[in-house]
Structure 1
Amino acid sequence: MPDQITADCVIEDERWEAAGLEQLAARAVEATLRWHRIGGEVVVMGCDDLRISALNADFRGKPRATNVLSWPSVEHLPHPPGARPVMPDEDELGDIAIAYETCLAEAAEQGKPVADHVTHLLVHATLHLLGYDHENDPDAEFMEATERAILQDLGIADPYRETS
């Protein structure tokens, strides 16, 4: 049985309240951590494109909007490409920021429900907090397979499936 799972939300952009970010974050973080059979705390900040652009510039040197950013609380141990990372043993797993305008635009462009797209991005970001990455093909394939499995448990369609 996993330890306690907490997803704390900080709403900087009020539009996230109407979009149900608190419930989406709780659902995504809980599903991801339960899938790994661990507990922990994640802080999710719902912001706008302007704020995430500043964060992206400060932390990644990329002064433009992006959909989601994550900051793990611990430095992760190296793992072989395509292997499951070693799970952190800290309660505080890290922070996530998610941008309203970018998420809505991507969901519309991809023909997906906003809630499903946001849930996918939060699962993806939570996996980054756990040490997953997509810096090489084996790691990207493993991360995407893990995302698919967690999202399937939530009843959300495969976000990587090609549509015509």
Structure 2
Amino acid sequence: VDDLCDRAVKASFASAGQGSYGEVSVLLTNDLAMCEFNSQYRGREGPANVLSFPAHLRSAHSRVEVEPLLWGDIAISFDRVKYEAKCEAKPIRDHTAHLVVHGTLHLLGFDHKEMLDIAAMKRLEVSSLARLGISDPYSAGVNVELSAL
């Protein structure tokens, strides 16, 4: 799992045109912990599948002169990963990588609040996953809500 997360983070950096210098922390946890995180940090009930906690607030369109040593933290509910992968009939490995990619893109300043941002983020997700040999998660028409912050 460590290798998969590391490769997914690096693929995200490459697809987004960022250097790979710096650290991203990934926590694989359960629904109970994610309920607590979601309530505390987003004011929402229930478990999120992925949450991102950037160490530095920035927009995806801004470039930094010196990349930070720590980009931030990603928390993923492995309970959600297993459930969503089963519902979508996809490998757990592929869905885990997708959520790591999604969370990493949030750390890099991307979001999905506006339609243009949604399209850009999906393109980067598909590109990042392709670097890992994983097919387009959106091509089957199943669209699990990715709830990263």
Task: Tell me the TM-score range normalised by the shorter chain.
Answer: 0.7 to 0.9
**Residue in 2 aligned with 1:59?**
41
Moved runs in structure 1, 4+ residues, more than 3 A?
Answer: none
Structure 2 gap segments, 5+ residues each: 143-149
Q: Which runs of 5+ in 1 are unaligned?
A: 1-19, 78-83
1:31 and 2:11 are equivalent in the alignment: yes
Instruction: Note if contact 1:28-1:122 (Cα within 8 Å) is conserved in structure 2.
Output: yes
Over the aligned positions, Cα root-mean-square deviation in angstroms equals 1.5
- Counterpart Cα distance in 2 of 1:117 and 1:100: 10
Amino acid at match of 1:127: L
The answer to whether the 8 Å contact 1:33/1:40 transfers is no
Superposed, which structure 2 residues align to 1:1-164 within 5 Å? 20=1, 22-35=2-15, 36-38=17-19, 39-77=21-59, 84-88=60-64, 89-163=67-141
- Show the counterpart of 2:147: none
**TM-score, normalised via structure 1 length:** 0.79
Q: Percent identity?
A: 38
- State TM-score, norm by structure 2: 0.87
Residues of 2 paired with 1:163 and 1:46: CA distance? 26
Q: Name the CA distance, whole Å, in 2 between partners of 1:144 and 1:24.
A: 20
Alpha-carbon contact 1:85-1:130 (below 8 Å) kept: no
Aligned partner of 1:157: which letter? S
Q: 2-side partners of 1:28 and 1:109: how far apart?
A: 22
Q: Choose between structure 1 and 2 for higher RCO, CA contacts under 8 A separated by at least 6 residues.
A: 2
Supply the distance in 1 between the matched residues of 2:8 and 2:81 (Cα, whole angstroms). 15
Q: Secondary structure at the match of 1:66?
A: coil
CA shift for structure 1 position 153: 1.5
Shift of the alpha carbon at 1:32? 1.4
